[in-house]
Amino acid sequence: MDPRTLFAADVAWSLWDQEPIEGAFELENSNNQADQSVVLSVSRPWVFGYEPPSGSGNGRSVLILGGGGYTQLMVGREGIQVARWLANLGFFAFVLVHRFPNAANGPQAPLDDARKALILIEEKELSPRGQGVCGLSSGGHLAAALLSEFPHQWTPSAKNVPNIHFAIIGYGPISTNAAGRTIIPNKAALEPPEKQELYQIVQPDVQLVAPAPPTFIVYSGNDPVVPVVNAYRLSEGITKARGVVELHVFADAPHGFALDTKGLPVSSWPTLCQEWLRQQALL
């Protein structure tokens, strides 16, 4: 099977080996619609790339990190749909299908995979003008982790990771899942334990590398899953790390609003983000 056909991508690579895509991950594909797909488990991570329309490329790439609470991956709504949007703006957009933090992979697997993806994109010379990241929900936490110091408790599987030139982060649990920093009193530890360990060790708002890149942040003010305080913590952290922040908090929006929530003010966030990218001279 040509791996590109799975998600109608232009390129597709295995991150750590040369094995075929068969058996790499378990996929739930509703009505055979790639942009609604959900990854249920991952044994071998892959990255899928979407080229900008001919003649419209800006020389930059974006690594897209979908959410799913680190126990599944919303590769369709928060991956492929986002990639198509950004590719149409001129970016070479890459969707990562990363491993989950669990007993089989350990707590650092998602971060290792994301760092490796950035290295591969640079090695293949597909981002001559620099790389960005875009992460939603748990992918927002992972994107922010890429802007942070690598934890001293872990041994990195990938070194010499390229610098990130800009970031787009939406409704991610940046640090409110860490013990001692929760909003809910006496909040129980998350399962599996490796997931809780990841959130405990990686608290990006207080671990950012300076200078932080320009960052667009978008959250819901009444998100019942990810408290909006994560947005304020991340914004403050980036400012302290000498970064420029564009922060949008919509008063009423569901968790996981992504690109396809209709009829609410939050529906305008992609347009606001596009204007911000233009203001930052990234388009």
**Every domain of the chain and the residues it spans:** 3-279
Q: Can you say whether the dihedral through the CA atoms of 252, 258, 261, 264 is positive or negative?
A: positive
Domain 3-279 has CATH 3.40.605.10: no
Is 0.85 topped by the overall pTM?
A: yes
Per-residue tens of pLDDT for the chain, all 283 residues? 899 999 999 999 999 999 999 999 999 986 778 999 999 999 999 999 999 999 899 999 999 999 999 999 999 999 999 999 999 999 999 999 999 999 999 999 999 999 999 999 999 999 999 999 999 999 999 999 999 999 999 999 888 999 999 999 999 999 999 999 999 888 899 999 999 999 999 999 999 999 999 999 999 999 999 999 999 999 999 999 999 999 999 999 999 999 999 999 999 999 999 999 999 999 9
Cis bond before residue 211 (omega within 30° of 0): yes
Q: What is the DSSP string of 102-164?
A: BTTTBTTHHHHHHHHHHHHHHHTT--TT-EEEEEETHHHHHHHHHTBPPPTTS--SS-SPPPE
**Residue type for position 279:** Q
